[in-house]
Amino acid sequence: MNFTCESSSLQDYLAVSDIVDYDHWSIKDLAEQLYNQSTDEIEFVRSAFEFVRDSIAHSWDIQSPRITCKASDVLQFKEGICYAKSNLLCAIVRGKGIPAGFCYQRLTLGDTPDTGYVVHALNAVYLRAIGRWIRVDARGNKPGVDAQFSLAEEKLAFPVREMYEEIDYPVIYAAPHPKTISALLQNSDCLTMYLHKLPAEL
């Protein structure tokens, strides 16, 4: 699939913000630790991805009512839904000067369209070593979900099923989509939000 960058400037994919707060000491410390353990850019991005995928619990998987949003809070509480986890992964990678953005899919909430649709968040990272963007999905693996870091064929958490009108949105956004941030900031119970109050489309 061909993707379109929201901005033509890679600098926009390095921005710090209240949500992607890689200037927070905890993000700085983690990024430095992962970077020092890596031999190159690709290994660092892989390590950052695997950390967020495996060390930050998906709130629905652990049935937690807590909602996290900004990257430093996701790291502090070690949990979040895909929107929050993508904020953290973006912050870690940007913290070491590697451009990263946000991608989205429209998926069924359950296995079939009668369950309704939700917007799912993942990341795109620009690897200078290979001169292109790759997508990674740090949602968190579980039975039936096996997302991996790959430079070749994408190995995302959820393959889009066109027969169910699921969508791969083609844009790589420089900032989290406002609909995803609104969902996180305007709700108080993660489990209720996850079932009933996530955006169904961008």
In angstroms, rounded to a whole number, what is the distance separating the alpha carbons of residues 113 and 98?
37
In order of their start, the domains of the chain are 4-196 (3.10.620.30)
Provide the CB-side half-sphere exposure for 78 (13 A, CA): 4
In angstroms, rounded to a whole number, what is the distance separating the alpha carbons of residues 77 and 138?
16
In angstroms, rounded to a whole number, what is the distance separating the alpha carbons of residues 83 and 86?
5
Question: For every one of its 202 residues, what pLDDT tens digit does the chain have, with 9 covering 90 and above?
Answer: 788 999 999 999 999 999 999 999 999 999 999 999 999 999 999 999 999 999 999 999 999 999 999 999 999 999 999 999 999 999 999 999 999 999 999 999 988 899 999 999 999 999 999 999 999 999 999 999 999 999 989 999 999 999 999 999 999 999 999 999 999 999 999 999 999 999 999 9
Q: Per the confidence metrics, is the pTM higher than 0.85?
A: yes
